[in-house]
A = this chain, B = another copy of it.
């Protein structure tokens, strides 16, 4: 009677897969069971099936499960076909070479920032980021510029899903503070991360918009307070803008899925 999971057996199995991925470390069956809503044999069979399918990997010595290697193969296809990455590739290469700093390319995934590409240049920033990594939208440069250029309703939906946490003394801690910041960003056309997520890490970010104004993703140049400051990063705005425009242009001829459906005719 009580529907807990959507999409039948497949949905349930994928829920288990997410659960394993969420642990972020090799996990035992009993640990999964402890926080699972499935009864023991059901969870057991899901884990077996996923392992068979190489969606999970099993270490028999430690009796632990990790997300499997098949995901890496599948994700490559996803990355190539469902993200901005292939279109942006050459442009962010050029950008990182020109500015000699770390460049990030991100898209919005649900209410989070999903990093889809990264270039290290010169002295790389020692920060934990990687293609496939997700981060908070409200306290990253790329996250804020994407929110800023979403339409009102979509932005509010995303803002309400943020769970504000003060990573540093500079983190915006309320929805209202964020709304005020987004207004500024909309006016300037670009935004900063002022050590809001990690101490010492700052960036300048630029949205990538389609010709009809839809948010496709965002770009950023990241550095450290030891190496430069916000004024220094602001000097990259023209080249960032140019790079974003180039990506927009190339994205026109490329077909990729419209996450917010319906909008194709709107605007």
Contacts and interface: CB of A to CB of B under 8 A. Distances in A.
Given A73-B21, A79-B72, A132-B73, A7 B53 contact: yes
A182 to B, nearest CB: 23
* Identical copies of this chain, number: 2
Interface in A6-45: 6-11, 13-14, 17-18, 20-22, 24-26
Contacts of A6: 52
A70 to B, nearest CB: 8
Interface residues of A, number: 65
B26 A73 contact: no
Nearest to A262: B60
List the 9 closest A-B pairs by CB distance, nearest first.
A76-B132, A75-B75, A67-B78, A21-B77, A57-B257, A66-B81, A71-B78, A59-B257, A71-B75
Interface of A: 6-11, 13-14, 17-18, 20-22, 24-26, 46, 49-50, 52-53, 55, 57-62, 64, 66-83, 107, 109, 114, 116, 130-134, 255-259, 261, 263-264, 266
30 contacts: A7-B49, A7-B53, A14-B53, A14-B55, A17-B74, A21-B78, A24-B80, A25-B258, A26-B81, A57-B82, A57-B257, A59-B257, A60-B258, A61-B258, A61-B266, A62-B255, A62-B256, A66-B78, A68-B78, A69-B82, A69-B109, A71-B71, A71-B74, A71-B77, A71-B78, A72-B75, A72-B116, A76-B130, A79-B130, A80-B130
